[in-house]
Amino acid sequence: MPGVRVATRGSPLARWQAERVAERLQAFDPDLQVELVLVETQGDRRLDVPIWELGGKGVFAKEVQTAVLAGDADLAVHSAKDLPSTTTPGLVLASVPERGDPRDALVGSTLADLPEGAEVATGSLRRQVELLRHRPDLRFVSLRGNMARRLAQAADHDAIVVAAVALDRLGLGDEITERLDVATMLPQVAQGALAVECRAADAALRATLAAIEDAAARRCVDAERAFLVELGGDCSLPAGAHAVIEDGAVHLTAFLASADGASHVRGERTGPSASVGTELARELLDAGGRALLAT
């Protein structure tokens, strides 16, 4: 294989992720030439609008995927949390490399040290709902943009909430005041993981990408994504899921909440495969989640 073109968003974090995949591929094939194809997405252009109003996960993936489908690139690298739960026709999720820290993080204050009525900046309904479970006094304002832009806004608020892995990958982990345990805040589906897509018909590239996959990360990501699929694709309500491998089995914890956080359902399930995501989603839907989706 003489070379591959990698489609990615142009932010420093997205480029880090694409370059990490390139490094992994070149470790497997030192002669492989890799070219980055930078793509601007709707989510990058519209920083004035909350993500859920733009249409959710796909706003950071659609244009990158289109570059691969159109033949302008051979593969795409995404933050797995930004990837729609249902695979785009013509593409395949060919590889999930090793996963970073899946937790959310506070910058500016610990949760316990936030003053009464503190203002927290986040662009995520899920993060708002999870924080309100522990601190119903908190107030929230929107937070958008690349990580440098977000960190620059930290001083304007009592705290901001970001994905810990984003700061870790940019060498900014020291900016984190507190990494929130998953028992406190369940992460977004597939947070901390990378997702590498290519054309489904490209058998040779699929085989190459399989060589850089982390089997445990793939099992966890597949289970978390299966949970979201069973909720009805990219559910617009706050939802989170986190899977780990325990004694060879997949242990999944997940929740679904109303938009205001007033109602929620939460549960855990363990099983041998990604089907635990489907099973837990059905359990939560029967326990009140279906009524939440109908509102």
Could you confirm whether 31 is annotated as catalytic? Answer: no
Any residues with CB less than 8 A from the CB of 250 and at least 6 apart, and which?
219, 220, 223, 243, 244, 270, 271, 272, 273, 274, 276
**Closest by Cα among 199, 184, 210 to 112:** 184
**Closest by Cα among 63, 65, 68 to 5:** 68
**Which amino acid is residue 107, in one-letter code?**
V
Count of C-beta atoms within a 10 Å radius of residue 111: 19
The token duo for 134 is: 């522990």
Count of C-beta atoms within a 10 Å radius of residue 265: 20
77: left (phi over 0), alpha (psi -120 to 50) or beta: beta
Q: What are phi and psi of 88, to 5 degrees?
A: -65, 130
Any residues with CB less than 8 A from the CB of 271 and at least 6 apart, and which?
249, 250, 279
Kindly give the pairing relationship between strand 249-257 and strand 264-271.
antiparallel
Distances (CA, A) of 14 to 60, 64, 76, 162: 10, 11, 11, 15
Between the two ends of the chain, the Cα-to-Cα distance in Å is 51
Residue from 82, 104, 158, 202 carrying the catalytic annotation: 82
The answer to whether the CB of 217 falls within 8 A of the CB of 24 is: no
The token duo for 225 is: 């994504």
The residues assigned a catalytic role are 82
